[in-house]
Amino acid sequence: MLTRELIVETAMQLADADGIDKMSMRRLATELDCGVMSLYHYVADKDALIEALVDQVASEVAPPAADTPWREAAQELAAATLAAQLNHPWVISIWSMTWPGPHRFALIERLLEALAQADLPADIADLGFHALTNHIQGFAQQRLAFGQLEAQADETAGRVAAIMGSDEFPRVIDHIAFHQHDETDRDEFRFTLDLILDGLERHAS
Amino acid sequence: MLTRELIVETAMQLADADGIDKMSMRRLATELDCGVMSLYHYVADKDALIEALVDQVASEVAPPAADTPWREAAQELAAATLAAQLNHPWVISIWSMTWPGPHRFALIERLLEALAQADLPADIADLGFHALTNHIQGFAQQRLAFGQLEAQADETAGRVAAIMGSDEFPRVIDHIAFHQHDETDRDEFRFTLDLILDGLERHAS
DNA sequence: ACCTGAACACCGTTCAAGT
DNA sequence: ACCTGAACACCGTTCAAGT
């Protein structure tokens, strides 16, 4: 029996396995052993399906307990959102472009709640909200790009070698070296997060 | 006569006018009055064409003069990069996923150069580089999402009304109100940029 | 060297028709 | 209510063939 839940679940599997580009209505239909058009009885659109998929990812983020101090709550939310996105890499490039579903709205609400408890002027809290979500988004995207490059190792190796071999971009060469003996993998996310949170705290009234 | 430059130029026009999805090899060919396969004599791939397109956008960013103080140089680079991306909104979602071309490498080099002049510990400079580029990327994406929502005004209005009408997400409602009498349009980008730059300066040795 | 049409292997969605 | 095949209007790219 076909259900919306089954469709979303199968679509998630396809997207996780092969990326969002390969999650086509037609592949989905063959996977579910039904005609393509049958799907359209449970889902208005491919876009609607994708919205459901994105909110499913959001539902994997466990919001911090209500009594968590604001700064820890923000850190936990940021880390958990990043982790969920990296668990479903295909979501990264569409996350901010899709209208939030109920689960994502709950996360947004929780982050705004944390900021409200920080005793910031109201506009600083609103600006801080975007500073934090933009950081999560920007960082996730950078990590995704990095991952893609590593996946196409052969092509990348040649291109990196070309840069390292030229003397046009010496600072870039140093920066690449930094990435190559990179042990600070986890800290990079926290570093900027703390820059932002420190800066916000300094605006506290 | 068909040339690579003409192809890139026409592709840019198509992408600017209708978005990257509508910039298809087939549309490009009809626009240029040639067979689709003729394009493949000047461009290896659609991906290669897109890389050229992205670097063309990067070429629109004028790097700051060499004697600009580091902090101003970083601000100028950030603002100019954001402006170029918003000028070609289709670039935002692919910018960080494409391998940099020569113009973009020059921008990267210039930003690393600015950070090198800030007297930061070497690893802080490298982390700061990503903090800054991630901010630009995250902010641009958020602005793009915002713009898309405004473009589909009818659909969005209903969805916003649904949120405003419910009492599930009170903080979200307040935040939406903040956006609605938003006069701080430009400052929002600078606000987080300054949080990051202030934080970096505090790490100066 | 430069150009090309036909063909292949795909898409999302509309429409009319079934049970 | 639920399902569907055929058709339409698209994709990028390979291949073999032209000049």
Determine the Cα–Cα distance for residues A110 and A172; give it in Å rounded to an integer: 39
Show which positions of strand D are touched by protein (CB under 7 A).
2-6, 10-16
CA torsion A85-A89-A94-A99 (nearest 10°) is: -30
B36: nearest nucleotide, CA–C1' criterion: C4
Work out the end-to-end distance of chain A between its first and last CA atoms, rounded to an integer number of angstroms: 58
The three-point CA angle A117-A81-A103 to 5° equals 80
In angstroms, the Cα distances linking B203 to A174, B128, B136, B198 are: 20, 10, 21, 9
In angstroms, the Cα distances linking A35 to A7, A10, A40, B101 are: 13, 15, 10, 44
Query: A128: buried, middle or exposed (CB in 10 Å: 19+, 13-18, 0-12)?
Result: buried
Determine the Cα–Cα distance for residues A46 and A30; give it in Å rounded to an integer: 16
Tell me how many residue pairs between chain A and chain B have CB atoms under 8 A apart.
155
DSSP code of residue A192: H
pLDDT value, residue B181: 77
B42: nearest nucleotide, CA–C1' criterion: C2
B109 contacts: CB under 8 Å, gap ≥ 6: A168, A169, A170, A171, A172
- Over residues A93-114, mean pLDDT: 98
- The answer to whether residue B182 scores a pLDDT higher than 80 is no
Q: Is A133 within 8 Å of chain B by CB?
A: yes
Residues within 8 A of A (CB atoms), B 106-125 only: 106, 108-109, 112-113, 116, 122-123
Determine the Cα–Cα distance for residues B128 and A164; give it in Å rounded to an integer: 22
CB nearest to A191's CB, from B127, B170, B178: B127
Residue A99 near residue A54 (C-beta atoms within 8 A): no
pLDDT band at A180 (very low <50, low <70, confident <90, very high): confident
Residues within 8 A of A (CB atoms), B 77-96 only: 93, 96
Q: B63-203: what fold?
A: Tetracycline Repressor; domain 2 (1.10.357)
pLDDT value, residue A1: 87
Determine the Cα–Cα distance for residues A4 and A43; give it in Å rounded to an integer: 7
Region class of B19: left (phi > 0), else alpha (psi between -120 and 50), else beta? left
Residue A57 near residue A84 (C-beta atoms within 8 A): yes
Determine the Cα–Cα distance for residues B106 and A166; give it in Å rounded to an integer: 13
- Over residues A35-54, mean pLDDT: 98
Count of Cβ atoms closer than 10 Å to residue B164 Cβ: 13
Q: Which B residues 30-89 have CB within 7 Å of strand C?
A: 34-38, 40-42
In the Cβ-directed half-sphere of A201, how many Cα atoms lie within 13 Å?
12
pLDDT value, residue A172: 97
pLDDT value, residue A154: 87
Pairwise CB contact (< 8 Å): B188 & A127: yes
Q: Which of A176, A95, A198 is nearest to A140 (CA)?
A: A95
| Radius of gyration for the alpha carbons in chain A, expressed in angstroms and rounded | 20
What sections of B88-152 are H helices per DSSP? 102-116, 122-151
Domain-wise residue ranges, chain A? 63-203
Determine the Cα–Cα distance for residues A129 and B122; give it in Å rounded to an integer: 29
pLDDT value, residue A131: 98
pLDDT band at B44 (very low <50, low <70, confident <90, very high): very high
* Helix (H), strand (E) at residue A55: helix A46-58
User: A11 or A151: which carries more pLDDT confidence?
Assistant: A11
Question: pLDDT of B94-121, one tens digit each?
Answer: 999 999 999 999 999 999 999 999 999 9
Q: Which of A95, A183, A105, A107 is nearest to A139 (CA)?
A: A95
pTM: 0.95
Map residue B60 onto helix, strand or coil.
coil
Count of Cβ atoms closer than 10 Å to residue A146 Cβ: 12
- Over residues A103-129, mean pLDDT: 97
The three-point CA angle B124-B129-B132 to 5° equals 120
